[in-house]
Amino acid sequence: MMLHIPQVLNPEQLAECRRIIDAGDWSDGNATSGFQAAMAKNNLQLPHASEASRAAGHIIRRALDASLLFTSAALPRTVLPPLFNRYGVGQTFGGHIDNSIRANPEGGVLRADLSATLFLSEPGDYDGGELMVEDTYGAHSVKLSAGDLILYPASSLHQVTPITRGERVAAFFWIQSYVRGVEQRALLFDMDLAIQRLAQAAGQSDPSIISLTGAYHNLLRMWAEV
Ligand code: NI
């Protein structure tokens, strides 16, 4: 499942993120890649230990906490601190698959269930730079408004196509979900959305809504790894 979540960052949060990271100390992006990915990667990245990365990441994680759509779709157990990359003209990240197990700089390790890219440049500011993601339904080209997020399975083959004009800045990060299975997670998401729509029409205290909510939580209880 690929999910576009619009306006995770509002204009003020977006401007603040850009102000912080644009003043940061960017370095070669290969510091976080596995060996195979490093061969395809050509971009700049903010070191995750940097103050700029930490401060902008904090804004993003607070925004994610406030996003009902993100929470419902990802059922996040752990969200890794966001990383930031920057692609100029001629830069690219060829087709690759991300590492499945990642060290958490805040301690421990994480199983990457979901990958997220949060766009921090407007699509009109650059040409090329599409995120291409291949899933079981084929290849999808993604280029979103600044502040919008795309969520996709971390097992997907993906790439960032070469930039031919301007500059593309984005945040990216991985999520371990309480629910490991893609199909179970998608079913819970559909169910949650349907319950929310029904609750708006019939009211939270409608007996059918209460019963469906109970069923949702029983499924989550059965599938959640805590
Ligand atoms: Ni990647």
Tell me the CA–centroid distance for residue 35 and ligand 1, in Å.
12
pLDDT the model gives residue 41:
79
Greater confidence (191 vs 39) lies with: 191
- Euclidean distance between the first and the last CA atom of the chain, given in angstroms as a whole number: 23
Distance CA 143, CA 110 (A): 27
- Of 177, 196, 212, the residue that ends a domain is 177
CA–centroid distance, 33 to ligand 1, in Å, is 8
Do residue 38 and residue 121 come from a single domain? yes
What pLDDT digit, counting tens, does each position of 172-188 carry? 999 999 999 999 999 99
- The number of residues in the chain equals 226
Query: 114 with 15, same domain?
Result: yes
My answer on whether 169 and 187 are in the same domain is no
**Within this chain, do residues 143 and 203 fall inside the same structural domain, yes or no?**
no
Contact at 8 Å (CB) between 161 and 129? yes
Residue ranges making up the domain that contains 11: 3-177
Q: How far is the CA of 98 from the centre of ligand 1 (A)?
A: 5
Taking the centre of ligand 1 as the mean of its atom positions, its distance from the CA of residue 97, in whole angstroms, is 6
Q: How far is the CA of 78 from the centre of ligand 1 (A)?
A: 18
For 218: left if phi > 0, alpha if psi spans -120 to 50, otherwise beta; the answer is: alpha
User: Are both 212 and 131 inside the same structural domain?
Assistant: no
Q: Is the same domain home to 103 and 210? A: no
pLDDT of residue 38: 57
Average pLDDT over residues 144-167: 96
Other Cβ atoms closer than 10 A to 196: 14
Residue 96 Cα to ligand 1 middle (Å): 6
Given a cut of 90, is residue 197 above it in pLDDT? yes
**How far, CA to CA in Å, does 67 sit from each of 24, 121, 173, 201?**
27, 20, 16, 22
We report the CATH number of the domain holding residue 164 as: 2.60.120.620
**Residues 15, 55: one domain?**
yes
- What domain count does the chain have? 2
CA of 74 to the centre of ligand 1 (A): 18
| pLDDT, average across residues 198-209 | 93
Amino acid at 178: Y
Which is nearest to 19 in space by CA: 29, 27, 28, 9?
A: 9
Please give the Cα distance from 226 to 214 (Å, whole number): 19
Clarify whether residues 206 and 94 are in a common domain: no
Claim to verify: residue 164 and residue 187 sit in the same structural domain:
no
pLDDT single digits (tens) 40-94: 778 899 988 899 999 999 999 999 999 999 999 999 999 999 999 999 999 999 9
Per-residue pLDDT tens over the stretch 2-49: 999 999 999 999 999 999 999 999 988 776 665 555 557 788 999 888
- Report CA(6)–ligand 1 centroid distance (Å): 21
In a shared domain, residues 85 and 32: yes
Q: pLDDT tens digits, residue range 91-145?
A: 999 999 999 999 999 899 999 999 999 999 999 999 999 999 998 788 999 999 9
Statement to judge: residues 99 and 166 lie in one domain: yes
CA of 158 to the centre of ligand 1 (A): 6
Last residue of a domain, one of 142, 160, 177: 177
Q: How confident is the model at residue 31, as a pLDDT?
A: 64
Residue 96 pLDDT: 92
Q: How far is the CA of 93 from the centre of ligand 1 (A)?
A: 8
- Tell whether 41 and 109 lie within a shared domain: yes
